[in-house]
Amino acid sequence: MGHPNLAAAVAQIAAVKEYQQAFRAVFGRPVNGPDLLRAIASYERTQLSFDSPFDRFIAGEKNAIDDSAKRGWELFNNQARCNKCHALTDTQRDVTYFTDNDFHNIGVFVVKHNVVALARQAEQLVSSGDKEAVDRAAIQTDMSALGRFLVTKQEKDIASFKTPNIRNVLVTGPYFHDGSQETLWDVIDHYNKGAGLQNPYLDEDIQPLALTVRRWFMNRMGRELSLCVHR
């Protein structure tokens, strides 16, 4: 939430009448830190989905997903190269969270921003040692486009972002850290084109996919991803 600590978050929540009433109704007490954490944990538990058609398919129920979705799953792990980042390793399929827990520059934002010039500007700020100013810049200015670089100061991390979990992805739009892609179609289009070739820090695993750009491909990918939604 961009707060420096829990007390600041509690103070902001406690100032809102609806939250005061909701905390009273649920916990029978005024807003406080431990209950705020309980509320967030309860919310996050509702986000788990491990009984989707996809999960049943992986567990051995062969007809839990249709043939088109099965072909989509193959694309995900082969030609479309999604597994290069949305899996723990290149060779083992990830059927749980679809992330390598690593950071990559996949070309988001670089079309709109000259990240190299921004990085030079940021270097000065970062070397000033003023952590709060860096945090503010990361959240409130165009420097957010620099991603992990603001933390590590390493050139290779310019415009890198953490690979997100893509479970439930059908209901978590808009997509990418800046919400710049509205639909899954747009996301797949981004990957299929291999965005930002003029971007010197682009991850080597982002390449134009060279798959014939046909709607059937996009539809299958979209469908495959949507199968991880609990229903």
Task: Return the closest-CA partner of residue 82 out of 74, 197, 220.
Answer: 74
The answer to whether 52 and 73 have CB atoms below 8 angstroms apart is: no
Please report how close the Cβ of residue 17 comes to ligand HEC at its closest, in angstroms: 32
Q: What is the nearest approach in angstroms of ligand HEC to the Cβ of residue 132?
A: 24
Tell the smallest beta-carbon distance from residue 169 to ligand HEC (Å). 5
CA distances to 7, 27, 31, 35, 47 from 38, rounded to whole Å, are: 15, 10, 11, 5, 15
Query: What is the smallest separation between the CB atom of 57 and ligand HEC, expressed in angstroms?
Result: 18
Residue 126 or 144: the one with the smaller Cβ distance to ligand HEC is 144
> Nearest approach, Cβ of 103 to ligand HEC (angstroms)?
7
- Is the preceding peptide bond at 174 cis, omega within 30 degrees of 0? yes
Positions that interact with ligand HEC (CB under 6 A) = 80-82, 84-86, 104, 106, 108, 161, 163-164, 166, 169, 172, 175-177, 187-188, 191, 203, 205-206, 221
Whole-angstrom distance, CA of residue 20 vs CA of residue 210: 55
Tokens 């003023």 belong to residue: 130
CB of 66 to ligand HEC, least distance (A): 18
The residue among 101 and 140 lying less far from ligand HEC, judged by its C-beta, is 101
By C-beta, is 23 or 191 nearer to ligand HEC? Answer: 191
**Pick from 209, 202, 170: which is nearest to 78 by CA?**
209
Task: Give the nearer residue to ligand HEC in terms of CB position, either 19 or 176.
Answer: 176
Q: How far is the CB of 7 from ligand HEC (least distance, A)?
A: 29
Closest by alpha carbon to 178, among 123, 141, 221?
141
Q: Which is nearer to ligand HEC, 163 or 199 (CB)?
A: 163
The CA distance from 88 to 95, in Å, is: 10
Report in angstroms the alpha-carbon separations of 171 from 182, 228, 230: 11, 10, 10
Nearer to ligand HEC, 16 or 48 (CB): 48
Between 135 and 178, name the residue whose CB sits nearer to ligand HEC. 178
Is the Cα dihedral 189, 194, 198, 204 positive or negative? positive
